[in-house]
């Protein structure tokens, strides 16, 4: 799979002689391939949009064909015993039969048979698919005639063209020898090309239908009016308020839980109190809001339809899309108010409890110190410090981590000591008192996981101006050195051969300008430095410090793996060395590692001066026979300590996004289901997306231990474990056949069920790190990517439905 993530690279690695095709054709084929293969996702915004379009297109295609076939059946154009109906029946029988044959072959019940070079199972599959396609085509064809508009006929033509295009692309890829490189088939015939092309064609067909749907939507979108949306939103808001007292119920439950938190949460260790409380409070907000939305949204439309109050709306000139969006807006207005209230209340609560705890612990530390209990005093002040640092929004600047092993050889990972740990970002270890080191590099550095002969560079530059602000001694000194470096680069470029006269004069002008800059920077640096020295000499340390850049803070969280106890009570020591190779300055320190605490190092900011964004930090373990473990996020420069309250609200915004997606689903379900079913559907979506999404992904990857639902059922009943192969009895084979039929359909769910987990950023907030704006923007886009299609689907259903029946 990772190889597929970088197809252009694969493309470039042609092992076979380069195919005789022009670059334009190759590029066109590449894009057609990228746009057509659904098993492929490229990183970045374009890639995400493409994947989104593919999925929406496929869903649209299924919906479009499905609706026409349904009409065909309803109008008795198909399913009446004509020749094509027998084809449909054949497909219906052949599909399970094919899977059954396939399973019997894998279970070695029957030998694998090939007919004319094609395996029997594949052949049966082709026949089934073609029969089904013909049956569906006849149905659509016959119905579109009397019922369809000209545009629908055009779509049918488009589908034909898409099929031809797909087949053409498939065959062309085989002909040009590209096929073997991408889909990974050892040898490709034109038949493989056609089959693969057919797969691509389905995606292209999806695009055609998507285009048709977009054309239908455009008109509707332009007729949406804000005042009508507002009116419906207002009614929705009133309704949820009056009918269900929803906001009040939720608020009261929230207040109740807060009032009795001590029943649910024992007072934890002081150091982690903030994290636990923030985690619990955000979980509570999330549960209450999503529960409210899940219950409110799917009920409203069906009740309106059932009680016929919908007449009062649909008989007015209100667009159906406005009915949907208005509702969503109304609910989201409610959610917004509640999020603001929850945020305010919980922040006040956190302030009272956590800040109170900090004061308490600090008082204890003072007392312990006064009593001469040094160990306890240190412990208390460390805990207070931990708590305080979690109640902030820290912005970390992370480097790229690589290791030296005990012999001093470079590696991407350190030693695996075999400790059980989280696999999200596993720590690896360095051996104490050896050449082993962990190195964090800043700047444009090679990705340690890329092969050394073809390194992929990653940008981990430090924004030096952030640490050394202009107008401080170090800031000005840094500017001076930066300008100097620019001049040197320009002069080097000028001295190279082959510089055009125009470029040379351009460079001259730049150098002159930069020299002026340099003089200015130098002057301001010297005056600032002189003033700072004067103030320091006069004993005004505070004023002198104000002229300097703030100290550089480095935070570290390492873990310790002891092979011997060592001396009782003696910590493991680490050595840190910060090198600024651009100017050759260095900083070194030895500190005791405190496991599971944030180790802080405060360094004078000069070490960054003139580094041009590059820095290298080496950490070594000093204590022999002990190991120090780290992952990339375990050491970072602390850029700023943002406001916790603001960050907390950003965390709640993630919950707001979850509620929005859920609202879209609820309203969508309400458009065609009765309220109890709609309610269950929404709950199912929520559970699948929030609790079971990881499981769904495993499902798609066929990585579920113990097989699909039917096989699992057998294991459950027979008390068999998940690992052992089941004996191929008739029951097992039938179960596996059923699984093979059900699993592909169920694994499609992963494309439709929203990934609620990823929208939740409250863990970052609880850990005391700032939520990045880019991350929030990405999440917002993702939420809209889920919510909009659901609302549109709801619109189409509502539009084609007899609401007044």
Partner 1 sequence: MRPTNQTKKMVYGIVIVALLVAMVPYTQRLNRIKVEKDLGEAAIGQIDSGSFMMKLFLLGGFRGIVANYLWIQAEDYKKNHDWDRLKATVDLITKLQPHFLSIWTFQGWNLAYNVSVEWDAPEDKYEWIKQGIKFVQEGVRNNKRSPDLMWDTAWFYYHKLGFSDESIILRRLFRDDEDEGFKTYTDAETGQDLVRNDNFQLGYGWFSNAVKLVDDGGTRLGGGTSADITYIDPTPQRKGRADDIAFRSMPSHAQTHYAAALEKMSMAGVEATFGEVAKNEWAKALREWEKFGQHKFLSHNVVMRDGKLVKDDVYLDDSTNPEKYKTLPENAQYWTDRWASQMNYRYWKERCQAEMTSDGVAARQMFYEGTKAYKTGDFATAAAKFRNGLDVWNENLKKFPTYREDDLNKKDTGLVVKRYVRVLRQLGEPVPDTLPFKDLLAAAEADNTVDPFDAIEMLGVGAGETSSAPPPSQPRAAEAPAAQPQPGQ
Q: Which is nearer to partner 1, 178 or 765 (CB)?
A: 765
Examine residue 694 and tell whether it contacts partner 1 (CB under 8 A): no
Given the rule CB under 8 A, which of 210-218, 323-331, 583-591, 753-761 is the region that contacts partner 1?
Answer: 583-591
- Which residue in the set 220, 272, 543, 720 belongs to the binding site for partner 1 (CB under 8 A)? 272
Based on the shown chain and the rule CB under 8 A, indicate whether residue 433 belongs to the binding site for partner 1: no
Among 152, 595, 632, 720, binds partner 1 (CB under 8 A): 595
Give the one residue of 82, 191, 225, 570 binding partner 1; rule: CB under 8 A. Answer: 570
Region of 448-456, 585-593, 661-669, 719-727 interacting with partner 1 (CB under 8 A): 585-593
- How many residues are given for the chain? 805
Site stretch for partner 1 (CB under 8 A), options 48-56, 60-68, 130-138, 267-275: 267-275
Among 111, 227, 242, 565, binds partner 1 (CB under 8 A): 565
Residue 480 binding partner 1, by CB under 8 A? yes
- Stretch of 46-54, 227-235, 478-486, 675-683 contacting partner 1, by CB under 8 A: 478-486
Interface with partner 1, residue 763, by CB under 8 A: no
Among 544, 572, 612, 770, binds partner 1 (CB under 8 A): 572
Considering the rule CB under 8 A, would residue 461 count as an interface residue with partner 1? no
Q: Which residues contact 253 (CB under 8 A, 6 or more apart)?
A: 288
Candidates 180, 303, 353, 379; binder of partner 1 (CB under 8 A) is 379
Which region among 148-156, 234-242, 380-388, 646-654 touches partner 1 (by CB under 8 A)? 380-388
In contact, 225 and 316? CB cutoff 8 Å: no
Q: Which is nearer to partner 1, 280 or 712 (CB)?
A: 280
Residue pair 157/205 in contact (Cβ under 8 Å)? The answer is: no
> Is position 706 an interface residue for partner 1 (rule: CB under 8 A)?
no
Tell me 176's DSSP state. Answer: T
> In sequence order, what DSSP letters do the residues of 273-312 get, joined into one string?
HHHHHHHHHHHHHHHHHHHHHHHHHHHHHHHHHHTTTHHH
Window of 231-239, 328-336, 373-381, 450-458 that interacts with partner 1 by CB under 8 A? 373-381
Cα 628 from chain centre? 30
Other CB atoms within a 10 A radius of the CB of residue 616 amount to: 18
- Which of residues 145 and 267 has its CB atom nearest to partner 1 in the complex? 267
User: Could you please report the per-residue DSSP string of 710-757?
Assistant: HHHHHHHHHT--SSSPPP--HHHHHHHHHHHHHHHHHHTHHHHS--HH
CA 324 to chain centroid: 28
670 backbone dihedrals φ, ψ, rounded to 5°: -70, -15
265 scored as a contact of partner 1 (CB under 8 A)? yes
From the list 506, 585, 633, 780, which residue makes contact with partner 1 (rule: CB under 8 A)?
A: 585
Q: Does 773 contact partner 1 by CB under 8 A?
A: no
For CA atoms 559, 563, 569, 572, the dihedral sign is: negative
Pick the closer one to partner 1 by CB: 243 or 269.
269
Which range touches partner 1 (CB under 8 A), out of 16-24, 317-325, 561-569, 751-759?
561-569
Q: Does 645 bind partner 1 (CB under 8 A)?
A: no
Q: How far apart are CA 122 and CA 94, in angstroms?
A: 11
String of DSSP letters for 31-83: HHHHHH-TT---SSHHHHHHHHHHHHHHHHHHHHHHHHHHHHHHTTSSSSS-H
Pair of tokens at residue 251: 């608020």
N-term to C-term CA, the chain = 51
Token duo for residue 31: 């894009």
Q: Choose the binding region for partner 1 from 55-63, 216-224, 565-573, 702-710 (rule: CB under 8 A).
A: 565-573
Closer to partner 1 by CB, 197 or 610: give it: 610
Q: Does 275 bind partner 1 (CB under 8 A)?
A: yes
Name which position in 47, 160, 168, 571 contacts partner 1 (CB under 8 A).
571
Query: Given the structure tokens 């405060």, which residue do they identify?
Result: 602
SS3 639: strand
CB of 543 to partner 1, least distance (A): 17
CB 589 → partner 1: shortest distance, Å? Answer: 6
Select the residue interacting with partner 1 from 607, 683, 750, 765 (CB under 8 A): 607
**103: part of which helix (H) or strand (E)?**
helix 83-106
User: In the complex, what is the shortest distance from the CB of residue 267 to partner 1, in angstroms, rounded to a whole number?
Assistant: 10
Rounded CA-CA distance 341/719 in Å is: 50
Site for partner 1 in 500-559 (CB under 8 A): 518, 522, 525, 551-552, 559
Binder among 496, 537, 584, 773 for partner 1 (CB under 8 A): 584
In whole angstroms, how close is the CB of 428 to partner 1 at the nearest point?
15
Angle between helix 190-223 and helix 773-799 axes, rounded to 10 deg: 80
CB of 422 to partner 1, least distance (A): 4
635 is a site residue for partner 1 (CB under 8 A): no
Among 508, 534, 589, 643, interactor with partner 1 by CB under 8 A: 589
| 388 near partner 1 (CB under 8 A) | no
Sole residue written with tokens 């389905």? 202
Kindly indicate which of the ranges 318-326, 430-438, 581-589, 746-754 contains the residues binding partner 1, using the contact rule CB under 8 A: 581-589
Q: Is 765 in the site for partner 1 (CB under 8 A)?
A: no
- Residue 573's Cβ-count burial label (10 Å; 0-12, 13-18, 19+) is middle
Question: What tokens appear for 270 in the block?
Answer: 């002081």
Residues 278-297 that bind partner 1 (CB under 8 A): 279-280
Round the CA-based radius of gyration of the chain to a whole number and report it: 33
For partner 1, the binding residue among 336, 378, 486, 712 (CB under 8 A) is 378
Alpha carbon distance 798, 388 (integer Å): 53
Handedness of CA 282, 287, 290, 296 (dihedral sign): negative
Both tokens of residue 769? 């790190």
What phi-psi label fits residue 446: left (phi over 0), alpha (psi between -120 and 50 degrees) or beta?
A: beta
Q: Between 89 and 291, name the residue whose CB sits nearer to partner 1.
A: 291
Closest by alpha carbon to 798, among 310, 261, 193?
310
623 Cβ contact list (under 8 Å, min separation 6): 432, 433, 566, 572, 573
Give yes or no for a contact between 632 and 401, defined as CB atoms under 8 angstroms apart.
yes
Which residue in 375, 454, 719, 774 binds partner 1 (CB under 8 A)? 375
Triad 250, 254, 255: Cα angle to 5°: 120
Q: Which residue, 6 or 488, has its beta carbon nearer to partner 1?
A: 488
Is 596 an interacting residue with respect to partner 1 (CB under 8 A)?
yes
Find the part of the chain contacting partner 1 (CB under 8 A) among 125-133, 340-348, 371-379, 640-648: 371-379
Q: How far apart are CA 702 and CA 744, in angstroms?
A: 9
- Tokens 């009895």 -> residue: 729
Residue given tokens 């030895």 in the structure block = 590
Our CB check for partner 1 shows the closer of 437 and 628 to be 628
For residues 304 and 312, give the distance between their C-alpha atoms in angstroms, rounded to a whole number: 10
Could you list the residues that contact partner 1 (CB under 8 A)?
A: 260, 263-266, 268-269, 272, 275-276, 279-280, 364, 372-376, 378-379, 381-382, 385, 420-422, 480-481, 484, 518, 522, 525, 551-552, 559-560, 562, 565, 567-572, 578, 580, 583-589, 591-596, 599-607, 610
């Amino acid at each position: 799979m990772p190889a597929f993530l970088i197809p252009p690279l694969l493309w470039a690695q042609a092992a076979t002689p380069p195919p005789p095709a022009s670059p334009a054709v190759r590029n066109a084929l590449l894009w057609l391939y990228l746009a057509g293969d659904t098993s492929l996702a490229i990183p970045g915004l374009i890639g995400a949009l493409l994947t989104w379009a593919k999925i929406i297109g496929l869903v649209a295609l299924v919906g479009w064909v499905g609706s026409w076939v349904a009409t065909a059946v309803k109008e008795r154009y198909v399913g009446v015993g004509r020749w094509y109906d027998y084809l449909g029946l054949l497909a219906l029988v052949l599909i399970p039969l094919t899977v059954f044959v396939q399973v019997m072959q894998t279970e070695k019940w029957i030998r694998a048979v090939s007919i004319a070079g094609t395996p029997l199972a594949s052949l049966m599959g082709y026949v089934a698919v073609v029969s089904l396609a013909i049956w569906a085509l006849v149905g659509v064809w016959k119905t579109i005639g009397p019922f369809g508009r000209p545009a629908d006929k055009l779509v049918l033509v488009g589908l034909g063209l898409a099929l031809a295009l797909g087949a053409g692309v498939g065959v062309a890829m085989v002909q040009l020898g590209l096929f073997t490189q991408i889909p990974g088939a050892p040898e490709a015939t034109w038949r493989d090309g056609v089959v693969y092309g057919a797969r691509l064609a389905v995606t292209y067909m999806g695009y055609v239908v998507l285009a048709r749907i977009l054309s239908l939507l455009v008109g509707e979108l332009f007729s949406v009016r804000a005042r009508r949306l507002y009116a419906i939103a207002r009614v929705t808001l009133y309704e949820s308020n009056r009918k269900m007292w929803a906001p009040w119920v939720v608020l009261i439950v929230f207040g109740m839980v807060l009032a009795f938190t001590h029943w649910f949460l024992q007072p934890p260790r002081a150091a982690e109190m903030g994290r636990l409380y923030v985690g619990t409070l955000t979980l509570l907000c999330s549960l209450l809001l999503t529960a409210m939305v899940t219950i409110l949204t799917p009920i409203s439309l069906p009740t309106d339809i059932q009680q016929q109050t919908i007449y009062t709306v649909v008989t007015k000139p209100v667009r159906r899309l406005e009915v949907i969006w208005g509702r969503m807006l109304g609910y989201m207005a409610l959610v917004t108010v509640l999020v603001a209230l929850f945020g305010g209340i919980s922040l006040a609560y956190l302030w009272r409890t956590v800040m109170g705890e900090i004061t308490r612990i600090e008082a204890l530390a003072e007392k312990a110190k006064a009593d001469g209990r040094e160990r306890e005093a240190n412990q208390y002040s460390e805990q207070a410090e931990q708590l305080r640092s979690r109640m902030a929004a820290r912005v970390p600047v992370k480097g790229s981590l690589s290791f030296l092993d005990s012999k001093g050889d470079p590696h991407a990972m350190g030693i695996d000591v075999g400790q059980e740990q989280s696999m999200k970002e596993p720590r690896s270890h360095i051996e104490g008192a050896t050449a082993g080191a962990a190195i964090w590099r800043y700047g444009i550095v090679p990705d340690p996981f890329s092969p050394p002969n073809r390194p992929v560079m990653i940008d981990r530059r430090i924004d030096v101006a952030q640490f050394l602000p202009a107008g401080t001694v170090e800031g000005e000194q840094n500017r001076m050195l930066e300008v100097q470096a620019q001049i040197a680069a320009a002069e080097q470029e000028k001295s190279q051969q082959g510089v055009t006269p125009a470029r040379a004069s351009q460079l001259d002008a730049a150098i002159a300008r930069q020299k002026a800059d340099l003089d200015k920077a130098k002057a301001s640096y010297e005056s600032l430095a002189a003033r700072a020295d004067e103030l320091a000499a006069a004993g005004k340390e505070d004023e002198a410090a104000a002229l300097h850049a703030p100290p550089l803070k480095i935070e570290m969280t390492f873990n310790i793996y002891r092979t011997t106890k060592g001396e009782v009570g003696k910590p493991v020591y680490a050595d840190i060395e910060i090198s600024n190779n651009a100017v050759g300055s260095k900083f070194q320190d030895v500190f005791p590692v405190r496991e599971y605490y944030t180790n802080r190092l405060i360094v004078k900011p000069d070490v960054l001066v003139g580094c041009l964004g590059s820095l290298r930090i080496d950490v070594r373990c000093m204590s022999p026979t002990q190991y120090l473990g780290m992952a990339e996020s375990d050491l970072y420069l602390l850029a700023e300590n943002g406001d916790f309250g603001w960050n907390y609200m950003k965390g709640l915004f993630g919950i707001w996004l979850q509620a929005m997606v859920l609202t879209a689903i609820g309203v969508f379900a309400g458009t065609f289901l009765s309220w109890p079913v709609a309610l269950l559907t929404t709950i199912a979506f929520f559970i699948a997306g929030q609790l079971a999404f990881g499981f769904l992904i495993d499902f798609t990857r066929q990585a579920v231990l113990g097989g699909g639902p039917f096989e699992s059922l057998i294991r459950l009943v027979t008390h068999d474990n998940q690992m052992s192969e089941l004996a191929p009895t008739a029951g097992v084979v039938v179960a596996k056949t059923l699984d093979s039929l059900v699993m592909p359909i169920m694994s499609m769910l992963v494309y439709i069920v929203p990934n609620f987990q990823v929208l939740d950023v409250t863990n970052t907030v609880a850990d005391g790190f700032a939520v990045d704006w880019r991350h929030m923007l990405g999440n917002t886009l993702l939420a809209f990517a889920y919510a909009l299609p659901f609302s549109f689907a709801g619109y189409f259903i509502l539009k084609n439905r007899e609401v007044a029946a």
